[in-house]
Amino acid sequence: MGAITLKAVEKYYGDLQVIKGVDLEITDGEFIIFVGPSGCGKSTLLRMIGGLEETSRGAILIDGNDVTADPPSKRGLSMVFQSYALYPHMSVRDNMGFSLKTAGAPKAEIEEKVNEAARILKLEPLLDRRPKDMSGGQRQRVAIGRSIVRAPTAFLFDEPLSNLDASLRVDMRYEIAKLHQNLAATMIYVTHDQTEAMTLADRIVVLDGGYIAQVGTPRELYENPANLFVAQFIGSPK
C-alpha cells in the first residue's frame, strides 16, 4: 500500500508562505515527479510528506490515515537525497543493514533483506567494499539499497542523481525505472531535469511559486500545457 493524499497543504516559514493550498491524490504504485524552477517548493513539499518539515495547514494522508502530526519514523516512508550520507568506514553490507539492526531485527532477517536489495541493484560484488572506495554512482546505488531494505510504503527522492556526471545519470535513471517496475512501490521524485521527468514519471506535478501549475502525464503536459509557464518548463512547442 502507498496511496498518499495531500489536502489543502500549506507551509509558512514565519510570514513567508512557500506552499499554497496543494491538493494531490497519489495512487498506490504511482511514479510521481515534482518539477519546477529553483525555490518553487519541491523540496519543502517532499519533506512535508516525509515528516521532516511541519505542515502549517491542511492534511497529509497515507493509505487513508492522517499522518500530518506524525514523526518521520511513523510514516513508513524512505527518503533518498542527493547527498547520500553513508558511513564511509562501514561495509556496504553493514550500511544497508544498519537501520534494521538499530530497529532490533534478527540477524538472519537482516542478511536476507540486504541480499535481496543487493540482488535487485546488482550490488552483490560490492557488499564487502567500503563507500570511501567506491564511485559516486555505486554509492548512490547503496543509498537506494539502504532504503529498499526497510521495505517502505513509498520512496521519496530529492534530486538523487544531480551530483552524478551525465552518462552515469542516464544509467541510474534506467536503474530507478527498473526498480519501480520490480518493487511496484509508490515513488515521489523531485528533479529539475526535464528529460528525467518525461522518461520516468507516470504523472508530473509542475510547481510554480508554491502552487500546482498543472498535473498530468508527460504526454498530457507536452501536448496540452495549461499555460505558457508549463509549456516553457516542459519544453513543448506551444
**By the rule CB under 5 A, 44 interacts with Mg ion:** no
Interface with ligand ADP by CB under 6 A: which range of 35-43, 122-130, 165-173, 223-231?
A: 35-43
Q: 208 - beta bridge partners?
A: 211
**Which amino acid is located at 224 in the chain?**
N
Residue type for position 165: D
Judge contact between 196 and 42, C-beta under 8 A: no
Q: Which of 22, 42, 121, 139 binds ligand ADP (CB under 6 A)?
A: 42
H or E element that contains 108: helix 107-120
From the centroid of its chain, how far is CA 126? 24
Q: Binding pattern to ligand ADP, positions 179-208, x when CB under 6 A?
A: ------------------------------
Quick check: 43 binds Mg ion (CB under 5 A)? yes
Residue 169 near ligand ADP by CB under 6 A: no
Among 13, 65, 171, 224, binds ligand ADP (CB under 6 A): 13
Element (H, E) at 81: strand 77-81
How many binding residues for Mg ion (CB under 5 A)? 1
Q: Which residues pair with 65 in a beta bridge?
A: 62
Task: State the CB neighbour count (10 A cutoff) for residue 166.
Answer: 7
Q: How far is the CB of 37 from ligand ADP (least distance, A)?
A: 7
Site residues, ligand ADP (CB under 6 A) = 13, 18, 36, 38-44
